Amino acid sequence: MERVVMKYGGTSVGTIEKIKAVARRVIKQKKQGKNVVVVVSAMGKTTDKLIKMAKQISNVPNSREMDVLISTGEQQSIALLSMAIEEEGYKAISLTGFQADIKTKGAHTKNVITEINTQKLEKYLDQDYVVVVAGFQGINESGEITTLGRGGSDTTAVALAAMLKCSCEIYTDVDGIYTVDPRVYQKAKKLETISYEEMMEMSSLGAGVLETRAVQLGKNYNVPIMVAFNTGEIAGTYIRELDNMEEKGVTGLSVCEGILMITVDNIYYKPQNISRLFEILAENHINIDMISQTAPKKGMVSVSFTCNADDRFNVEKVLTTYSANMNDVEYTIDEDLIKISLVGVGMMNQSGVAANIFKAFSENNIEFKQVTTSEISVSYALNKSDMLRAVNSLARAFNL
């Protein structure tokens, strides 16, 4: 029997009426003769509310207890959706990450999936149950409840589809993947298909539609992924391997807000000094994005890097420690920045992309603070005040 994993985000299950609507859409798949696994997020803003309550108790809550706390949001959703499906006359059972045997490892609140034992899932599917699984959570080698970080429910859904050898349908509050976020650029075009590589790059560079790890899993296990509006009535976007990917240089544009740029000056130029800085950042689980370094001058260099604004407290703690042990080292933090990125597999074999970007910036008097490239992307750190002008000028320049 054909199988499918369906994933519904927080806005899709935000109210009891929405949960009942999801139950009806799940049953529609059952009526087509499919075995269905449903992965759901916490209802609406439940996770945000739980985090807010924790912050009212502690500015830096214990990460283990945070996992215990925020994992409860998905448990509400799975139980309510299972009840709704049963009320429609179909068998359903809810499973937490622990009950679904989703094994994880890593730092609390930022775990990764290492293994899924599908034996229990298979048993319930064979008995014609709709299996409703809590996204975003699992259990580590010590038997502790863990969560997977931002976009973890997407990752759960694709990982389950990989293990069950079936497709994955991600239902959300957008009707597909666009060349540019339509909220930022109203003339953006919806894509019928996009390659795994391009989607991974766009996700990692700020496109919030799908989590990067989920797309990576899809590519690794060749899981067809569809992203569509939660009513299921409008054709979505398919993420898969594509032919003729090089015909167009730029496929899409991503914008990532909430960026900090940190510049560390007067570092005595020794590889060990640079290495130590990034070792301490890694030890504090701070994800670094764009990095640049000046050429040595009088034996000194400056290093700049960007990170998420949510990590400011930990970054300042690291830099205070680092500078205290290094004579003359100083640092500055530049706020209110965005990262804007152009993505396209065709960039690998087409020249002129960078020239067109610089031309668009020049014609619109847009300054950038940092630039980084990969084989299929170019990213710039800009002042947030320049965001709309930058997006509009680049979208026009590349017909997005």
Tell me: the pLDDT tens digits for 372-395? 888 888 889 999 999 999 999 999
Examine the pLDDT at 206 and tell me if it is beyond 80: no
Orientation of helix 63-70 relative to helix 46-57, angle to 10° = 150
More confident residue, 77 or 289: 77
Tell which of 127, 154, 173 closes a domain: 173
Last residue of a domain, one of 156, 173, 190: 173
| Amino acid 207: pLDDT | 65
Same domain, 160 and 59: yes
Question: Rg for the chain (alpha carbons), in Å?
Answer: 23
Report pTM.
Answer: 0.77
Share of the chain above pLDDT 70, in %: 97
Is residue 58 domain-resident? yes
Q: Are 365 and 273 within one domain?
A: yes
Sign for the CA dihedral angle at 305, 308, 311, 316 comes to positive
Domain annotation covers residue 234: no
Domain that holds residue 336: 253-397
Asked if residue 233 has pLDDT above 80, the reply is no
Half-sphere exposure of 365 (CA within 13 A, CB side): 1
Neighbours of 2 (CB within 10 A): 11
Helices 196-204, 212-221: inter-axial angle, 10-degree rounding: 160
Question: Distance between CA atoms of 361 and 342, rounded to whole angstroms?
Answer: 13
The answer to whether position 210 is within a domain reads no
**pLDDT tens digit sequence for 38-71:** 999 999 999 999 999 999 999 889 999 999 999 9
pLDDT at 106: 92
Q: Are residues 142 and 274 in the same domain?
A: no
Bridge pairing between strands 288-293 and 300-308: antiparallel
Q: Is residue 178 part of a domain?
A: no
- What's the confidence (pLDDT) of residue 243? 63
Average pLDDT across the chain, whole number: 90
Q: Is residue 233 part of a domain?
A: no
Which CATH number goes with the domain that contains 137?
A: 3.40.1160.10
What would the two tokens of residue 49 be?
A: 């509310």
Question: CATH number, domain at 306?
Answer: 3.30.2130.10
pLDDT band (50, 70, 90) for residue 148: very high
Domain count across the chain: 2
pLDDT in tens, 325-352: 777 888 889 888 999 988 888 777 777 7
